[in-house]
Amino acid sequence: MFREILNALAHGSTIDNAFSELGEMLEHGVWMFERANEVLHSKVPAQAVSESIYERDRAINELERSIRRKVLRYLTVNPGYDVPVCLALMSVAKDAERIGDYCKNVFEVGQFYNEDFTEARYRQALDQIAEETVVIFKLVSAACRDSDEGPASEAIEKAKSIRGRCDEIIMGLFRDEEQIQVHEAVAYSLLARHYKRVVAHLANISTALLGQFEDLDFYNDNDIAGKPKAS
């Protein structure tokens, strides 16, 4: 719906071009996320992808600035026109930029944590979350590319589940009475937090794609069963 609104208001304009740049940001983001997790599991050495990770992050930052410039230029030429849609586009561009930052953070956990992940209950849960997050990336990209509300709605539902599970992992680490190495617990906690923020920003983009601009930046789901929470 978001793309349809933009096309109706500003077909062929700089705003439409800015929307395409949002898609590029998501493509860079999923590439970074997948490479970061490969480093995390020692499938590739950190030095083999480090330069590319940071190059992609810089590309995302420049695309976000480009979208901002296009939106401001458009509003300068068309003052007071299409303001809510333009502001929503700038908001989700910031979401895509933050995704790049959190993907970089996941990479840095893999880069600096050199020990094994020995606690299966945390490792397996986080591995499953990472796999599902890649699926969410693809759903949001498809919704962005095809202006399809179905994938956007599915992405939001999957993100709700992941956010709750990430919170449960962090709470479990605090409650864990068994012996677990501090540095390993820190790694699990950081990954849970970074994954949670990646899917939260993907859900926010999906919310805009559905045209629900009033709900941007608010997550009124139950992240943990029985515990209403605004993220």
C-alpha to C-alpha distance for 144 and 152, rounded to whole angstroms: 8
**What's the whole-model pTM score?**
0.87
Note the residue count of the chain. 231
Residue 181, by phi and psi: left (phi above 0), alpha (psi -120 to 50) or beta? beta
* Termini Cα distance of the chain: 24
- Lowest-confidence pick of 12-26, 95-109, 135-149: 12-26
**Residue 8, pLDDT above cutoff 90:** no
Domain locations along the chain: 2-215
Buried b (16+ CB within 10 A) or exposed e, 214-229: eeeeebebebeeeeee
What's the pLDDT band for 83 if we cut at 50, 70, 90? confident
Domain 2-215 is found in CATH 1.20.58.220: yes
pLDDT of residue 227: 43
* Percent of the chain residues past pLDDT 90, beyond the cut: 59
